[in-house]
C-alpha cells in the first residue's frame, strides 16, 4: 500500500466494547502507521458503558493515546453513513458467536480469541497485569497484521490472511 492508498478500515468487536476491542483499536491506530484505521464497537454495550479504566491505564502507561476512545454499539457501523470496513475482527468468543448486522461492503472477517481481562479476580496489581498481558497478546497479532505485504492485504486475500493470524 502506498501512502496515496486509503487505509484499511478495521473494526474490532466485543460484547461490551470496554476492554479488548478498545485495546485493539488504540493499538492498531498507533502501530498501523496510516495503513490502517481502527474502530471498535460492542454487540451489546451496557447503558452508559465506558472503556475500562484499567485498559486505559495500561494504554497510557505504554504511551498510547486514549483520547476519543469510547464504548459504542456495533449498530453505529452498520448504518448507511458509517465508514465502510475492510476487515472485522471479533476479539471475544461471545461476540464471535452472535449474529452480526449486515456490514456495508461485505468486509473480510476473522476471530481472534482473547480472555476477558476484566473478569479476573485478585488485587489491583493482578488485574492490571491481566490487562497488560492482554495488550501484549493483541499487540503481537497486530504487529503481524501490520507487517503483511500489500498483496496479503488485498481484498481477495484479506480474510484468509487475518484468519491465519488467529493461530499466531
Q: Check: CB of residue 78 under 8 Å from CB of residue 103.
A: yes
Q: Rounded CA gap, 15 and 88, in Å?
A: 14
Residues 84-137 have pLDDT tens digits of 999 999 998 775 566 667 777 889 999 999 999 988 788 889 999 999 999 999
Identify the sign of the CA torsion 83, 28, 168, 153.
positive
The CATH class for the domain spanning 8-156 reads alpha beta
Q: What is the pTM of this model?
A: 0.89
Parse the chain into domains and list their residue ranges: 8-156
CA distances to 30, 73, 127 from 45, in Å: 24, 6, 21
Predicted local distance difference test score (pLDDT) of residue 98: 66
* Residues ≥6 apart with Cβ < 8 Å to 73: 17, 41, 42, 43, 44, 45
Predicted local distance difference test score (pLDDT) of residue 1: 46
Residues 42-75 have pLDDT tens digits of 988 877 789 999 999 999 999 999 999 999 999 8
Amino acid at each position: 500500500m502506498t501512502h496515496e492508498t486509503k487505509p484499511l478500515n478495521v473494526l474490532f468487536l466485543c460484547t461490551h466494547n470496554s476492554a479488548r476491542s478498545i485495546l485493539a483499536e488504540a493499538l492498531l491506530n498507533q502501530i498501523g502507521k496510516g495503513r490502517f484505521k481502527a474502530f471498535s464497537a460492542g454487540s451489546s454495550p451496557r447503558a452508559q458503558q465506558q472503556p475500562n479504566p484499567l485498559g486505559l491505564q495500561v494504554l497510557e502507561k505504554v504511551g498510547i493515546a486514549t483520547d476519543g476512545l469510547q464504548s459504542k454499539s456495533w449498530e453505529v457501523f452498520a448504518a448507511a453513513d458509517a465508514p465502510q470496513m475492510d476487515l472485522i475482527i471479533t476479539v471475544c468468543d461471545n461476540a464471535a458467536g452472535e449474529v452480526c448486522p449486515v456490514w456495508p461492503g461485505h468486509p473480510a472477517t476473522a476471530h481472534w480469541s482473547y480472555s476477558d481481562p476484566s473478569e479476573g479476580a485478585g488485587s489491583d496489581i493482578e488485574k492490571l497485569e491481566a490487562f497488560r498481558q492482554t495488550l501484549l497478546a493483541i499487540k503481537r497479532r497486530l504487529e503481524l497484521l501490520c507487517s503483511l505485504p500489500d498483496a496479503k492485504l488485498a481484498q481477495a486475500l484479506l480474510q484468509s490472511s487475518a484468519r491465519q493470524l488467529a493461530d499466531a
